[in-house]
Amino acid sequence: MHNLNDFLTLIEGFLGGSKWFPILLIGTGLFYTIYLKFPQFRFFKHALKVVTGKYDKPGEKGDASHFQALTTALSGTVGTGNIAGVALAIYLGGPAALFWMLVTAFLGMTTKFVEVTLSHKYRETDEEGFISGGPMYYMKNKLNMRWLAGIFAVMTIFSSFGTGSLPQINSISNSMFTTFGFNKMLVGGILTILLAFVILGGIKRIAKVTEKLVPTMAIIYFVGALAVIFYNYENIIPSFVSIFTNVFTGTAAVGGFLGAGFSYALTKGVNRGLFSNEAGQGSAPIAHAAARTEEPVSEGMVAILEPFIDTIVICTLTGLVILSSGVWTEKLPNQFQPTDMVVMADQYDDTNEEDREKLYHYLGGTSDLPVFTGDLIVENGEIKNELSIINARSVAENIKIYDSQDKLYNGKVAISNGKYSSNNGVTFKGNSLVHSAPLTAEAFTRSLLGDWGKWIVSIGLLLFAFSTAIAWAYYGGRSVTYLFGVKGVLPYRIIYCIGFFIASFADTTIIWTISGITIVLMALPNLIGILMLHKDMKSTLNTYWDKFKKEHPSEV
């Protein structure tokens, strides 16, 4: 399994882990922000009016209202990225990673405005009478690049698993296991049945469910986050300072020895920001294409609100919860995952400056340290060999090994190149840094809410992530319709549900790595496409705004 993870990590490192993709993503947003004269500022107030239906006209073509389109798109974006993704970004890249998430969101408000407008403009009606839209349609109908449209549609199908199915249920099941001790496979089975019931009902059922779920879950999460932040009020200003300090030079990050330099903070912040708000990925235009309006720009206006709500508001709240509570630097009791763990051949003490320096370079990939190969000798759960275990980029402490019956293990555990197989029936537990949803869940306990804070995260994550899985099933289904026709949608939805179930008990690190790969592969053709249509976008915007000023002169 670790060989698979190494292979996937290598691919992810070349795609999202390198500097060229964040530069392309941010550069596209920056270009359009300047080219269209900062639409995220100019049209924000107008967007709020549009989403309330103030300018709706009866009889317009579409399958959903502006608000339903917004909530469906938000249900696809407000999810695991806001809870687990922020925690992962801070864990990997330090507080500066949150800064780059915010930059991605600010520029992403323009990127999403553009991609939604263009996709809505070139939408079609499928053979069953439903609206079909998304980047593949402007690629086909305007750019006349069917090959690029086909690539995007295929990548969207893959990304529906990498963004909407696998990481969502994986985070839900991990959170439910950590908080309540619920069996991961049982949680996955129940939610898979519920998912199948919703997505087989099509866009109208999806829209009805999401317009109720999104506001409810946002309010619950918002109140819980504020409770933690204000409880740790003395850390609010230092937390803000840490986000904006050393953005370009890097910060000393988690565990005391993991370096989160500029490159690391940039790539992790941008990639997690993209995972969270999906601005530039090309997913939201598929939902917005169904909106009832004949004005593509008006739907683009609605899309401006998404990165603001998703990342600038909700992700910032999560980040402040984690930073103000201080849990991101604490070693906490947890069950180790094989891909997060490596058995070292020597002993290390992270309170020793020399050892910290060695581990800093080892975890940063700039030097090698010897790893263990052989048998661990275990008595009553304790390792008798003189060595150290690195888990979640920190020196693990108070390590105990348990058998398949969750009893203290006696015997030997085979280790190869520092790794062990999860198939050998033993489990490693101890204290180390944690990441993703468990980190956020722990942070929410650091207030007057106490352990009840974990309930907010678990329930919030359940609603967030489940609604995201629903929305992405629709995105993938629209792509299948584009490639194979309506007949391919049912088989796709069945496979989607199967993948959803399997991911409920799969390894978290592998799931997130797959996610990072599919997001980049989907975003690339979309970013290239919208850049090619910059003149079309500007002309479309100017025509809309001139018309609006004539019809509503008092509101300009």
Of residues 100 and 128, the one with the higher pLDDT is 100
The answer on 371 and 222 residing in a single domain is no
> How does strand 259-260 pair with strand 397-402?
unpaired
Tens-digit pLDDT profile for residues 115-160? 999 998 998 877 677 778 899 999 999 999 999 999 999 999 999 9
pLDDT reported for residue 259: 44
Token reading at 540: 């479309």
The answer on 280 and 219 residing in a single domain is yes
Predicted confidence band at 13 (pLDDT cuts at 50, 70, 90)?
Answer: low
Residue 516 CA: distances (Å) to CA of 116, 264, 310, 533: 22, 15, 19, 26
Task: State the Cα–Cα distance between residues 463 and 443, nearest whole angstrom.
Answer: 19
Predicted confidence band at 207 (pLDDT cuts at 50, 70, 90)?
Answer: low
Residue at which a domain ends, from 377, 407, 432: 432
The answer on 368 and 458 residing in a single domain is no
The answer on 28 and 50 residing in a single domain is yes
CB 19 within 8 A of CB 267: yes
> HEC profile for 252-297?
ECHHHCCEECHHHHHHHHHHHHHHHHCCCCCCHHHHHCCECCCCHH
Predicted confidence band at 265 (pLDDT cuts at 50, 70, 90)?
Answer: low
Report yes or no on 542 lying in a domain. Answer: no
Report yes or no on 35 lying in a domain. Answer: yes
pLDDT reported for residue 59: 62
Question: What Rg do the C-alpha atoms of the chain give, in angstroms?
Answer: 24
Tell me the range of 49-58, 78-87, 290-299, 532-541 where mean pLDDT is highest: 532-541
Task: State the Cα–Cα distance between residues 309 and 302, nearest whole angstrom.
Answer: 12
The answer on 241 and 102 residing in a single domain is yes
Beta bridge partners of 394: 391
What range defines the domain where residue 356 resides?
334-432
Report yes or no on 135 lying in a domain. Answer: yes
Report yes or no on 547 lying in a domain. Answer: no
The answer on 128 and 246 residing in a single domain is yes
The answer on 532 and 468 residing in a single domain is yes
pLDDT reported for residue 43: 92
Tens-digit pLDDT profile for residues 416-468? 999 887 666 899 999 999 888 788 889 999 988 888 888 888 888 787 788 78
The answer on 134 and 26 residing in a single domain is yes
Report yes or no on 520 lying in a domain. Answer: yes
Report yes or no on 554 lying in a domain. Answer: no
Task: State the Cα–Cα distance between residues 501 and 495, nearest whole angstrom.
Answer: 10
Give the DSSP per-residue string, 500-525. HHHHTTS-HHHHHHHHHHHHHHHHHH
pLDDT reported for residue 221: 82
The answer on 516 and 411 residing in a single domain is no
pLDDT reported for residue 480: 93
Is residue 90 classed as helix, strand or coil in its secondary structure? helix
Sign for the pseudo-dihedral over CA of 220, 165, 315, 27: negative
The answer on 514 and 452 residing in a single domain is yes
Report yes or no on 463 lying in a domain. Answer: yes
Tens-digit pLDDT profile for residues 224-247? 899 899 999 899 898 888 888 766
Tens-digit pLDDT profile for residues 165-182? 888 888 888 888 877 888
Say which CATH number the domain at 242 has: 1.20.1740
The answer on 293 and 355 residing in a single domain is no
pTM of the model: 0.81
Report yes or no on 438 lying in a domain. Answer: no
Contacts of 237 (CB under 8 A, 6+ apart): none
Count how many domains the chain has. 2
CB 168 within 8 A of CB 497: no
The answer on 463 and 314 residing in a single domain is yes
> How does strand 389-391 pair with strand 332-335?
unpaired
